[in-house]
Every structure is written in C-alpha cells, then in structure tokens.
Amino acid sequence: MIWWPLLAGISLAWFLFGTRIVRAVGPDALGAPAGVIIATTVAVTLWRWSIRDAHRLSVAGGTCPRCTGPISTFEEQPRPGALDRGLRGWHCNSCGLEEFEPLTPAGDAS
C-alpha cells in the first residue's frame, strides 16, 4: 500500500525538523530524542486518521468495516420542540456492529 512509504517519509521529515529545532534551541543531546518523539507523534496521528477515514468510507458505502457485510442505516428524528437531538445509526446483521451519531437539530445553525 502506498501509505506506508508516504508515512515513513513524512515521519522522517518531521524527525529531521524536530532534531534541528531542538538542537538550535537547547542542548545537542536532546535533539535526537525530541525528533523521535515528534516523528512518532506525527506517524501515529496520520495512521489513526487513515484508519478513521477508511472506516467512514466503508460505512458511507453501505458495508461493515469489520466484516464487509451489508449494513442497515436508520434515523430517529427529534420530537418537535424537544431539546434532544435526533440519532443516526448503523447496524450490521452479520457481526452485530452498531454505531450511532447525533443529528444536529433543525433549528441549530452551527
């Protein structure tokens, strides 16, 4: 997959950047450890974003991200005048995965 070389390149760039910044500001001995910490943080963040995006694309496409079976979508609209939001959910009959997200009320402009 193309993501791993890209992830490694971005992490290497952040390692070099972090090492140079810390060496310019503080002691030379902290350069490499700070670069490793920055590179690891960037790599983990990008990896988690890619997992979350793949999960959302799978759900949006109507397939279960866990077992690739079909999922059913349902929505519960809020009652008129209620303070609660509505609810959108997904359910997989094959593996039992259930996910929910709140809907924004119609009167909310945010």
User: Which residue ranges make up each domain of the chain?
Assistant: 3-60, 63-110
Which phi and psi (to 5°) does residue 41 adopt?
Answer: -60, -45
Residue among 23, 41, 42 at smallest CA distance from 32: 23
Q: One digit per residue, pLDDT tens: the chain, 110 residues?
A: 567 788 888 888 988 888 888 888 878 788 888 888 888 888 888 889 888 998 889 888 889 988 988 998 888 877 776 666 778 888 998 888 888 888 775 555 54
Interval 80-109: pLDDT, tens: 766 667 788 889 988 888 888 887 755 555
Contact 71, 99 (CB under 8 A): no
| Long-range contact set of residues 56-63: C-beta below 8 Å, sequence gap at least 24 | 59/90, 59/99
Q: Is the pTM here over 0.75, yes or no?
A: no
